[in-house]
Amino acid sequence: MGHGVMAFTSVLPVSVATVLLLSLPAMAGEEDPLRLVFFDGSRLRGPEAATPEEQGLLDRLNRLSPLVTMTEELPVRAVPLFEAGRYDCLIDLRFDTSRPRPDTLSSREQMRIEYLYYHLRDSPLPDGPVRVARHRGMADWPASLNGIPYAELIGTNDVVQTVSLLKARRVDTILVYPGNMPAIPEVQTGEIVPVPGLAPARTAHLVITCHTSDRARRFLNRLDALTPPASPIPAPGPITQ
C-alpha cells in the first residue's frame, strides 16, 4: 500500500499508494458488493505484500471478498471519484492533522505507514539545506520534516521517477514509503539506503473509509472484528545524521 504507500497508496499510500494491485472476486449474494478504490504507489510492485502488515490487511480483505470488490485508479483520480460517489469505499491515509470526511464511516486502523528519507550510500546528506524529491501527493505536507531544511523540493509522479532523480544526483535525498522500495534494484544492492539515524519523517494511519450506508457499516464491522489492536507509536529517539 501515498507516494508511496504500499500498493494501497501512492504516498503507500507513494502506498497507498501505498498500493499493490488487488483483484478480489465478487461473489453472488443478496446485494451487490461494495466498490472499494485504491491507487498504486509503485509500478514495480508485484501482487505480493511487501511487509507483514500489508499481508495482514490483504488476508482480511480476501476473507471479506464476497462483500467488496477492489478497483485501481490513478492517484489523482481515486479520492475525487470516491468523493463524487463513484466508489463506496476508499483505502484512506489519515494523519494527526487530517479532518474527518463528512458523511462517512471508517474502519479501525488497518496498518501504520511510516515515510523515510533515502539517499545514495556513497553520498551523505550535506550540511545545511538539501534537495528533496517526494511524490506530488505530498504537496500539502509541511515543506520541511525532521527539522531538515529544504533547498529545493521536486514533486514526482511515482516512486520510479523519485528514485531516478536520486540516481541522477538531481537531489540529495528522497522521501518515500519503504514498502515501495524492495523492488528497486539499487535498494537490493545496497546502493540506496535509508538515511541513518533519522526517525520517520511522518506517520500515517491507514483505514478504510466508506460512504455511510447499512452495507458499509456491516462490512466495516466485520473488518474491525478481524483487525488486531494497533500497536502503540514508539517514542522518537535522538535524531542524528
**Do residues 2 and 16 make contact, with C-beta atoms less than 8 angstroms apart?**
yes
Fold type of domain 34-111+203-226:
D-Maltodextrin-Binding Protein; domain 2 (3.40.190)
3 forms beta bridges with: none
Cα distance between residue 95 and residue 109, in whole Å = 11
Residues sharing a CB contact under 8 Å with residue 221, sequence separation 6 or more, in sequence order: none
pLDDT of residue 20: 32
Q: What is the model's pTM?
A: 0.74
pLDDT of residue 103: 94
Residues sharing a CB contact under 8 Å with residue 55, sequence separation 6 or more, in sequence order: 49
Residues sharing a CB contact under 8 Å with residue 156, sequence separation 6 or more, in sequence order: 3, 133, 134, 135, 136, 162, 165
Q: Tell me the three cell numbers of residue 75.
A: 492517484
In the chain, domain spans: 34-111+203-226, 115-201
Backbone angles phi, psi at 135, to 5 degrees: -65, 145
- Stretches where the chain sits below pLDDT 50 are 1-29, 42-46, 234-241
pLDDT of residue 227: 95
39 forms beta bridges with: 73
Q: Tell me the three cell numbers of residue 89.
A: 469505499
Do 34-111+203-226 and 115-201 show the same overall fold?
yes
pLDDT of residue 33: 94
Q: pLDDT tens-digit profile of 165-221?
A: 999 999 999 999 998 898 899 999 999 999 998 889 989 899 999 999 999 999 999
Q: Tell me the three cell numbers of residue 118.
A: 533515502
* Interior/surface letters 177-194, b for 16+ CB within 10 angstroms, e for the rest: bbbbbebbebbeeeebeb
CATH entry 3.20.20.100 includes domain 115-201: no
Cα distance between residue 212 and residue 54, in whole Å = 25
pLDDT of residue 232: 56
pLDDT of residue 217: 96
